[in-house]
Structure 1
Amino acid sequence: MALYVYAITAQDHPCRLEAIHGVGSDPSPLRTVTAGPLRAVVSDIDEDIRPKRRDLTAHQAVQERLMADGAVLPLQFGYVATDDVAVRQALGASADGYLATLARLDGCAEYHVRASQSDEAPLLQQILDDLPDVRDLNERIRAGDRDPSLPLALGEMVAHEVKARQETLAAGLTEALMPFSRDHFVRPPSGSDFLNLSLLVPDERRDSLRTAEANIAREIGSGIDLRFSGPLPPYSFVQ
C-alpha cells in the first residue's frame, strides 16, 4: 500500500501522534518508518490525495504537533512513497543532509513577512513633492494641456518611482528583520505585495521579532499594510 509522507525527524523525536489524524477520506493511523538516525511520519493511503481543505488542514496539524516537540523537516503537501522500503531507502540515501538540516532548524520556526501598499495617496503625494518633473507634468495636465502623450508619460514616471521606492522599502525591511533570524529567504512578491520574506527565527528571538514588528509598523506609518504570520513549520528552509 502507498504511503503519504508528512515529515522527517530525528530517530529520538517523541512523535506524539495521538489524537490527530492524517489525510484521506478514511484516514489510516499515523505511524513512523525508521532508518538509522532518522524516521519519517507516514500514513497508509489507498486513494489519490488532492489539496482539499480537509487534507491540507490534516497535513498542517501533523507538522504543528511535531514542531511542538523538536526539530522537523516538513514535506510539502502531496508527497507519496510506494512503501516502507522506499521510505527507508530515501532516508538512508540522504541521511547526512537530513541530519544537517535538522540541526540547522532545531529550536526555530518560520515566519512570513509580507507588505503591500494599502493606500497609495500618501506615496503619490510624496512623489509629487519630491520630483519636479512629475509635479510639472501633473500641473500641465490639470491646467488643461491636451497633449495626448502627457498622461502616459506621467503614468510611466509615477509607476517607475513607486516601484523603486517599494523596492527600497522592501530591502530596508529585510535588512531590519534579518538580525532576528538564523536564515532568511526572499521570494518574488505576488499580487499587490512588494515584499515576500521568510525568516527562520530561533525560539529565543521570537519576542524580539514581535517587538520589532510593532516598532517598524509605527515607523513606516500609514499607507503600508505590513503582515506577519508565524510560528510556522519551516517549509522554506528544507533542502
Structure 2
Amino acid sequence: MPLYVYSITAATHPCRLDGLTGVGTDPAPVRAITAGRLRAVVSDVDEEIRPKRRDLTAHQEVQDRLIADGTVLPLQFGYTAPDDRAVSEVLLEHADGYLAALERLRNCAEYHVKASQDEEALLREILGGSDRARQLNERIKAGDADPRLPLELGELVAAEVGERQERLAAGLVESLVSLAEDHSVRAPSDGDILNISLLVHDDNKDAFLRAETRLADQTERVRFRFNGPLPPYSFV
C-alpha cells in the first residue's frame, strides 16, 4: 500500500506516535518502519496528497511530536513511497548519509528571519542625500517635460536602493550567522530585503534569541519577522 513519509530518525528514537493520525481524507495511524539503524515515520494513504490546510497541519504535528524527543530529518510535505519494502530499501541503501545528517543536526533547530524596509523613508533619504536625484526630482516637479528626466531619476534611485539594501542585508546576515551552525540565504520576495534560514544549536539558542531582539531594537526603519524553533527542513 502507498505510504506518506514524514521523517527519518535513528532507530533509537522513541517515536512516540500514539494517537497521531496522518494526512488524507481518511487518515491512517502514523507508524514507524525500522531498517537497520534507522526508522522512517509513515502513514498509509490511498489518494494523491495535496497541500490542504488539514494535511499541512497533520504533517507538522508529526514533526513537532518527533522533534520533542530527539533529532529528526524532516521531509518536505508531499513525499510518498510505494510500500514498506521500498522505504526499508532506501533506509538501508542510504544509511551512511542519513546517519551523518542526523549527527550534524543533533540538538539543532531551524530559525527563519525575514526583513523588510520602509521604502518611502528610504526614497526620501536618497532624494535628500543625492544632489543629482534632488535636482532631477525638482525639475520634474517644476514641470520640465523632458522625457529623459523620469527615466534617469528612476534608474538612479533603483540603483541606490538596490545597493543600500544589499549592504543592509549583508550586515544583518553577518550579525546572526556567527551564532549558527549553518545558514541558507534565499532570494527575498514580496518587498523583503532579507530571507534567511539559520541552523542553531540548543547551546546557542538563548544568545541567538537575544541577538534577534537586539537587531530589531537597533535597526531603524526595518521590520523583522522571526520564526522558530522549527524542524530543520532547510538543512536536510
TM-score, length-normalised on structure 1?
A: 0.95
Determine if the alignment matches structure 1 residue 16 to structure 2 residue 8. no
How far, CA to CA, are the matches of 1:123 and 1:19 in structure 2?
Answer: 52
State the partner residue of 2:224: 226
Corresponding residue number in structure 1 for 2:110: 110
Letter in 2 for 1:236: S
Aligned to 2:45: 45
Matched, 1:147 2:146: yes
2:223 corresponds to which letter in structure 1? D
- What's the C-alpha RMSD, in Å, of the aligned pairs? 1.1
Q: Partners in 2 of 1:128 and 1:175 — Cα distance?
A: 28
1:127 offset after TM fit, Å? 1.2
User: Within 1, Cα distance between the matches of 2:66 and 2:144?
Assistant: 66
Partners of 1:11 and 1:173 in 2: CA distance: 39
Structure 2 length as normaliser, TM-score?
Answer: 0.96
Q: Residues of 2 paired with 1:65 and 1:161: CA distance?
A: 47
| Aligned match of 1:213 | 212
28-37 or 131-140: bigger deviation: 131-140
Corresponding residue number in structure 2 for 1:73: 73
Structure 2 residue 235 is matched with structure 1 residue 237: yes
Q: Deviations over 1:110-137 (max 9, x none)?
A: 01111112x2222112212322221221
SS at match of 1:146: coil
SS at match of 1:180: coil
Encode CA deviations 1:47-74: one digit per residue, 9 max, x unaligned. 1111111001000110111111111000
Q: Deviations over 1:138-191 (max 9, x none)?
A: 122223322121112111111111111111111111111001110000111122
Q: Which letter maps to 1:199?
A: L
Partner residue, 2:200: 201
How far did 1:20 drift? 2.3
**Counterparts of 2:134 and 2:217, CA distance in 1:** 29
- Partner deviation per Cα, 1:66-113 (whole Å, 9 max, x = no partner): 111111000111111111110011011111110011011110110111
Counterpart code for 2:198:
L
Q: Give the Å deviation of 1:19.
A: 2.7
Give me the whole-angstrom Cα distance separating, in 2, the residues matched to 1:203 and 1:170. 25
Number of residue equivalences:
236
* Residue identity (%): 63
Spell out, residue by residue over 1:15-64, the C-alpha distance to the aligned partner (whole angstroms, 9 max, x if none).
Answer: 11123221111211111111111010011111111111100100011011
Unaligned runs of 5+ in 1: none
How far, CA to CA, are the matches of 1:15 and 1:81 in structure 2?
20
